[in-house]
Amino acid sequence: MINKGDRIPEVNLVKATDNGPEQVSSTDYFAGKKVALFSVPGAYTPTCSAKHLPGYVEKAADLKSKGVDEIACTAVNDAFVLGAWNKDSGSEDVTMLADGNGEFAKACGLEMDGSGFGLGTRGQRFSMIVDDGVVEELNVEAPGDFKVSAAEYMLDQL
């Protein structure tokens, strides 16, 4: 599993934009800025939609006032689903990074088996503060929990 002090692994992600999906390497995306990254098991799922994404939308200005340049959400979903979810429940303050094949979650050692719920392999619920590609803070939830990956928890770390 990725740890504090490690570099973000090099994988391709797909950024959801108003002009459609845009390929981006993780190395390029995280270079030269401080990113508050959070991962959800899936767009439109209950906790993700009711608490996780809304918390980062609500606390976006607070995070940015503490030195965060960008807030990003990743999930093992395609960019079209993440883009629609952001339009429905998110904001322009959150960048959606699709990990459609789960390569980022796997490279970080943060995948989970959601097949019992018909979800297949997904990314765990987690958050991290990444500064110029290096993990400064890593918060991985226990299965079924929503505490340490919340925006409020991250604010206390900054």
- Active site (catalytic) residues: 48
Q: How confident is the model at residue 48 (pLDDT cuts 50, 70, 90)?
A: confident
Q: What pLDDT score was predicted for residue 63?
A: 98
Which tokens belong to 130? 């990444």
How many angstroms separate the CA atoms of 41 and 35, rounded?
A: 19
Positive or negative, the CA dihedral 1, 80, 25, 134 is: negative
Q: What pLDDT score was predicted for residue 76?
A: 95
Sheet of 126-131: strands edge to edge?
20-25, 12-17, 94-98, 70-75, 34-39, 126-131, 134-140
What residue segments make up the domains of the chain, in order of their start?
A: 12-157
CATH number, span 12-157: 3.40.30.10
Report yes or no on whether pTM surpasses 0.75. yes
